[in-house]
Amino acid sequence: MQLQRRKSIIKFSITLVISCVSLVLISSTVLAVSKNSILIAAKIVDASVTARVSSRLMLSAYSDSKSTDVATRLGKVTLTGTADTIAFRQLASWIARSTSGVTAVDNQLIVRPPIATVL
């Protein structure tokens, strides 16, 4: 009788350990999938913000969008490249800042007036 009881306790303990390990593995997998889903969603949102800012810059009357690069990471927009005037540099910041989804703007545009061409 004692031996039968010990076997039952050992069997139950092994089953309990296996269940706990399985639960940990499943939880880790769900957590990893959740993290990946969040990262993918953040990248999609950032790409959407970049597209909106870029479009608004292209439609701007003062914009030379070919010389302005827009990058977004977690809602923070970084503007790089050149601007023809200080006014455009400021306008680019305002356009980016007023775009939905933007949490911050890092304006790294360098003001360089266009080179005059001699005819």
Predicted confidence at residue 38, as pLDDT, reads 73
Predicted confidence at residue 64, as pLDDT, reads 62
**pTM (two decimals):** 0.66
Helix and strand element counts for the chain (H, E): 2, 4
Is residue 111 a contact partner of residue 83, using CB atoms and an 8 Å limit? yes
User: Which positions of the chain have pLDDT values less than 50?
Assistant: none
| pLDDT tens, residue by residue, 71-105 | 999 999 999 999 888 999 999 999 999 999 999 99
The residues, any chain, with a CB within 8 Å of residue 107's CB and separated by 6 or more, are 79, 89, 92, 93, 96
